[in-house]
């Protein structure tokens, strides 16, 4: 048997039998992992109060040679991020980000940039240091960029004409094609098509291209923010292949 240790953020926990928990983490060193925490529901010493969603921990995990589920051996607190749970909208956004990570990225593939993005975003929610609505647009745009699924916003996805050369201030955005389509390439009807302003397209493109700190320094007017949110929250389910439960809850909540 082998052990490894890593900083990790708890994404989800599920009851398993009478005493155990299945825990899903985004770990810095090993990427997305699922482990079993044996006797976690009855032990008051090993895991008491630590295995809460969105908590950042240092974990020690024992792996098995026969491909059995890894076992959580030890945990220690790095950052509780407890204030997230005090707000319904903050909890809803954090749950959405966790569901995106669980549904989108492969297990045991280190994703240090996504780890940093999630930690940064959760810390902003926890400290109430940014609007959760702004943080959600930034998280989705940066997450899609880091996973290689970012929408194509600089030019027509079909013919390549730059957005700056398009005459209209309102552009077509095709969910199925994954980006902007110009007037000349949009003759064919598509049920996956919506519209986006040229300003919002540039705004989202800028967020995708620069780091999260730089994106946080942008000024977000309500119109651009709402349009960016609409586009991203249509794009994500289309390419994920399903509507995340947490996103449906967010929409109902708003």
The per-residue pLDDT for 42 is 83
pLDDT of residue 165: 95
The alpha carbon torsion through 103, 106, 112, 117 (nearest 10 deg) reads -10
Residue 138 has pLDDT above 90, yes or no: yes
Can you tell me the distance from the alpha carbon of 154 to that of 202, in angstroms, rounded to the nearest whole number? 7
Task: Please indicate whether the domains covering 1-80 and 83-254 agree at the CATH topology level.
Answer: no
Lowest mean pLDDT segment, chosen from 123-137, 167-181, 205-219:
205-219
When comparing pLDDT for 212 and 7, which is higher? 7
- Within 8 A by CB and 6+ apart from 228, the residues are 137, 141, 200, 203, 204
Would you say residue 43 has pLDDT above 80?
no
Which pLDDT value is given to residue 41? 87
pLDDT band at 45 (very low <50, low <70, confident <90, very high): confident
pLDDT of 6 reads 97
Q: What is the pLDDT of residues 221-251, one digit of tens each?
A: 899 999 999 999 999 999 999 999 999 999 9
pLDDT score for 189: 67
C-alpha span between 213 and 230 (Å, rounded): 23
Do residues 102 and 63 make contact, with C-beta atoms less than 8 angstroms apart?
no
Model confidence at 131, in pLDDT bands (50, 70, 90)? very high
Q: 1 pLDDT band (50/70/90 cuts)?
A: low
Do 149 and 103 meet the contact criterion of CB atoms below 8 Å apart? no
For residue 127, how far is the Cα from the chain centroid?
19
* pLDDT, average across residues 122-148: 95
Would you list the domain boundaries of the chain? 1-80, 83-254
Nearest residue to 95 via CA among 125, 75, 116, 131: 125
Phi/psi at 177 (nearest 5 deg)? -80, -20
Q: Which of 160, 164, 165, 166 is nearest to 179 (CA)?
A: 160
* Residue 184, φ and ψ in degrees, nearest 5: -65, -25
- Average pLDDT of every residue of the chain: 93
**pLDDT given for residue 215 in this prediction:** 87
CATH superfamily of 1-80: Nucleic acid-binding proteins (2.40.50.140)
pLDDT of residue 211: 85
Tell me how many degrees the CA angle 164-192-211 measures, rounded to the nearest 5.
Answer: 50
Query: Which fold is adopted by the domain 83-254?
Result: de novo design (two linked rop proteins) (1.20.1440)
As a whole-number percent, the residues of the chain with pLDDT over 90 amount to 81
Mean pLDDT of 68-85: 92
pTM, two decimal places: 0.93
Distance CA 127, CA 129 (A): 5
Split at pLDDT 50, 70, 90, the class of 48 is confident
């Amino acid at each position: 048997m082998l052990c490894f240790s890593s900083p990790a953020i708890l994404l989800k926990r599920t009851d398993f039998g009478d005493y155990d928990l299945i825990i899903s983490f985004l770990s810095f060193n090993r990427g997305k992992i699922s482990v079993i925490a044996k006797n976690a529901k009855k032990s008051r010493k090993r895991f008491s109060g630590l295995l809460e969603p969105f908590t950042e921990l240092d974990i020690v995990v024992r792996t098995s040679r026969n491909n059995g589920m890894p076992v959580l051996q030890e945990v220690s607190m790095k950052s509780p991020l407890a204030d997230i749970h005090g707000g319904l909208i903050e909890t809803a956004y954090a749950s959405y980000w966790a569901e995106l990570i669980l549904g989108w990225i492969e297990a045991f593939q280190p994703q240090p940039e996504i780890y940093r993005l999630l930690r940064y975003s959760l810390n902003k929610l926890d400290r109430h240091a940014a609007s959760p609505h702004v943080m959600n647009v930034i998280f989705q745009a940066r997450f899609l960029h880091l996973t290689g699924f970012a929408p194509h916003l600089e030019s027509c996805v079909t013919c390549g004409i730059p957005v700056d050369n398009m005459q209209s201030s309102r552009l077509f955005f095709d969910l199925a094609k994954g980006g902007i389509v110009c007037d000349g390439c949009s003759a064919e009807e598509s049920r996956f098509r919506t519209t986006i302003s040229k300003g919002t397209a540039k705004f989202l493109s800028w967020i995708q291209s620069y780091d999260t700190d730089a994106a946080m320094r942008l000024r977000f007017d309500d119109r651009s923010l709402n349009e960016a949110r609409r586009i991203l929250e249509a794009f994500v389910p289309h390419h994920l292949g399903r509507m995340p439960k947490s996103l449906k809850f967010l929409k109902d909540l708003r």
